[in-house]
Structure 1
Amino acid sequence: MTKPLDIVFIGLSLTSSWGNGHATTYRALLRGLARLGHRALFLERDVSWYAENRDLPRPDFCNLALYSDRAALIRDYGERIAGADAVIVGSFVPEGIAVIDEVLARAQGVRAFYDIDTPVTLARLERGDCDYLARHQIPALDAYLSFSGGEVLDVLADHFGAVAPHALYCAVDEDRYRPLDITKRWDLGYLGTYSDDRQPALERLLLEPARRLPHLRFVVAGPQYPAGIAWPANVERIEHVGPEDHAAFYAAQRHTLNVTRQDMIAAGWSPSVRLFEAAACGVPIISDRWRGLDELLPEDEAIVIADEAERVVAVLAEEPPREARERAARAREIILANHTGTNRAAQLLALLSGRAARRAAASPERPKASATAFDPRR
């Protein structure tokens, strides 16, 4: 595909990063598409909890439209969906199953699902309680774009009938995440919304080291933490850090912590955007362990992987600063070479080109979701 593409995204949120990791992912990807000369329209359901916390109400790198419900989406943008070169529906879109049905029925271009929550989605599909994607829709999609790689792609193809599963990881906006010369306020920090299944790792790898190192300073930033958490006196709490302040927040830390949801750990090969952001900012990273992490950032060369508090305490209290700087520089080099928004946009364009060529060579009769069911015996 050499001409500029017209791509429609229907996603959870572009305008608000409050309590979700989708917005920063879409922002990096769509900025990358704009840099490469392609057009994008992002369609977002207008919901109150994002309306009250919009930190990017008017993006300058794509067209944005808010819609009130599915009927309004189709009434106002049905023709655009039908005529786009590609339509990409994201995970956790309200009324997602019905929206995907509309896209499968109308879109003449490549029809893809972008799963920013792949392990969560697959677990919900198995339980039968996924309300934004139906199992029988997966084989009708032209492409399944997954936040998880590795073995998950085989599961998507073999167990769920995905025709073209590809890893499309999150990415970092290379223009907005970079090293800054800022005074260090904290020895270790963490940025993330509260999650029940991440909290034990946060307790083990940040709160316990804080108790053992009362002379050092720690910070946890993010919303929705329960009132009953016993924060050590040397742990500062910040309710929310907007994306425009992420780089400065990372730069004020001597080290930053990455912890992972259990579904992501079980799946492996599921990096978070916070990992890429911190690396692009040149901050030394300490992370919990999951399969595929050391393939992304080699252990001890570009990242510290800690299983217990003792490892974190040793790094904070004993490691020479030069070693931490060298690790951070290596991580930044890897991320900027492979995981920027422009990298990811180029990867997406190559995937769409391949699917479009395959579609053009196939029969003009396209499969409908209602007529295609996944047979678990296949």
Structure 2
Amino acid sequence: MNICFFGSSLVSSYWNGAATYYRGMLKEIAKLGHQITFYEPDAFERQAHRDIDDPVWAKVVVYPATPEGWKRALDDATRPADLLVKASGVGVFDAELEQAIAAASTEALRIYWDVDAPATLDAIAAEPRHHLREAIPRYDAVLTYGGGDPVVQAYRAAGARDCVPIYNALDPDTHHPAPPRGDFSSDLNLLANRLPDREARIEKFFIDAAARCPQRSFVIGGSGWHDKPMPANVRAVGHVGTADHNAFFGSARATLNVNRDSMAAYGFSPPTRVFEAAGAGACLITDQWDGIDLFLEPDREILVAADGAAVAAHLDALSPERARKIGERGRERILAHHTYRQRARQFNDLLEGMTTRTEAAE
């Protein structure tokens, strides 16, 4: 099947947390025999911060971030496509693309693939005239990378014909144990861009924990933190490219995951960082949200904290040996049940079912 995919960026993780998900999913989907063309805008300096070359398993088309640019890209995609995919969060002309793909005159299947369903659903709920209220019922299915039953029910209430979570996962070829690096060395690290709906939770879980543990060292990676006031024992190392993620996660006694507000509220939304860090063998500490045990077993494969005080308490009780064992058990669980190869098979089964239903209806 010829799949034309409109997303934020496949070749750059710069201000683009979905890059790992796109790469892991689409690489494995291509292995199942599908042809992938990924359309991404030349926006947000991502092309200047590429961290991979164009992959052999997908054709990458970079279009100008202009009205003419996206229209030409969609026209180019519509003619050969058997499946048109619009991912959420492209960052420019999202509404225009979402409406245009929904209304396109084509026999191709159409999927809306939401890489931040809680935020999208909150936006729809807050705006009675939101464009997706009209567009979503015209897509053949909605896929999400998290959210569980709360997201499924919300999307069906918004008119989706079907909604299926295809969760984040691990690409073991990309994320795996690596030797530690001195510039990333710490007792606790966190990799997250500075975003409005995450900052308060990072203050609560990471910055507060650092303030409570002045004798320990903390490292925060990601864009936007250079002017954020931090305790003296916190080092901000800026954007960390995907090639350095394994070393980053392998250089701390523990790695912290902090979900954004909306993802924590809906639950069942493990971000890519959970699987990346687990793949690297890191001992994970996460903020509390419903559905954690669907992916990792608390206290055995992951540690769960209600606030910064609980994070600090975990660090006080975490010997190097215990951290190593938690990391090993977490990695074993993810490798056994949560790889992109498994997710791609789920997608393929879904696609075959959609194709069969379409053929039966003709």
TM-score above 0.5, yes or no: yes
User: What amino acid is aligned across from residue 163 of structure 1 in structure 2?
Assistant: R
Contact 1:301 1:327 in 2 (8 A): yes
How far does residue 268 in structure 1 lie from its aligned partner after superposition? 1.1
Is the alpha carbon distance of 1:95 and 1:199 closer, same or farther for their aligned partners in structure 2, counting shifts above 3 Å?
A: closer
Distance (whole Å) between structure 2 residues aligned to residue 293 and residue 186 of structure 1: 25
Contact 2:121 2:154 in 1 (8 A): no
Give the counterpart of 2:94 among 87, 96, 99: 96
Contact 1:288 1:305 in 2 (8 A): yes
Q: Partner of 2:214 in structure 1?
A: 214
How far does residue 48 in structure 1 lie from its aligned partner after superposition? 4.8
| Superposed counterparts of 1:26-41, under 5 Å | 26-41=22-37
Q: Secondary structure at the match of 1:89?
A: strand
Contact 1:202 1:259 in 2 (8 A): yes
Is the alpha carbon distance of 1:115 and 1:129 closer, same or farther for their aligned partners in structure 2, counting shifts above 3 Å?
A: farther
Contact 1:146 1:168 in 2 (8 A): yes
Comparing 319-328 and 24-33, the one that deviates more: 319-328
Q: Partner of 2:52 in structure 1?
A: 56
Q: Partner of 1:137 in structure 2?
A: 135
Q: Partner of 2:21 in structure 1?
A: 25
How far does residue 54 in structure 1 lie from its aligned partner after superposition? 2.3
Q: Partner of 1:178 in structure 2?
A: 176
Deviations 1:110-168 (A, max 9, x none): 2100000101111111222998x5211111110100122222101111x2011010001
Q: Secondary structure at the match of 1:12?
A: coil
Contact 2:279 2:334 in 1 (8 A): yes
TM-score (norm 1): 0.88
User: What amino acid is aligned across from residue 230 of structure 1 in structure 2?
Assistant: P
Structure 1 residue ranges (4+ consecutive) displaced by more than 6 angstroms after TM superposition: none
User: Is 1:6 the counterpart of 2:39 in the alignment?
Assistant: no
Structure 1 residue ranges without an equivalent (≥5): 365-378
Deviations 1:333-374 (A, max 9, x none): 221223222222222111111111111111x4xxxxxxxxxx
TM-score (norm 2): 0.91
Comparing 265-274 and 103-112, the one that deviates more: 103-112
Distance (whole Å) between structure 1 residues aligned to residue 306 and residue 257 of structure 2: 12
How far does residue 313 in structure 1 lie from its aligned partner after superposition? 2.1
Higher relative contact order (CA 8 A, sep 6+): 1
Contact 1:86 1:352 in 2 (8 A): no
User: What amino acid is aligned across from residue 333 of structure 2 in structure 1?
Assistant: I
Comparing 169-178 and 321-330, the one that deviates more: 321-330
Q: Partner of 1:47 in structure 2?
A: 43
Is the alpha carbon distance of 1:320 and 1:225 closer, same or farther for their aligned partners in structure 2, counting shifts above 3 Å?
A: closer
User: What amino acid is aligned across from residue 238 of structure 1 in structure 2?
Assistant: V
Is the alpha carbon distance of 1:76 and 1:154 closer, same or farther for their aligned partners in structure 2, counting shifts above 3 Å?
A: closer
Q: Partner of 2:269 in structure 1?
A: 270
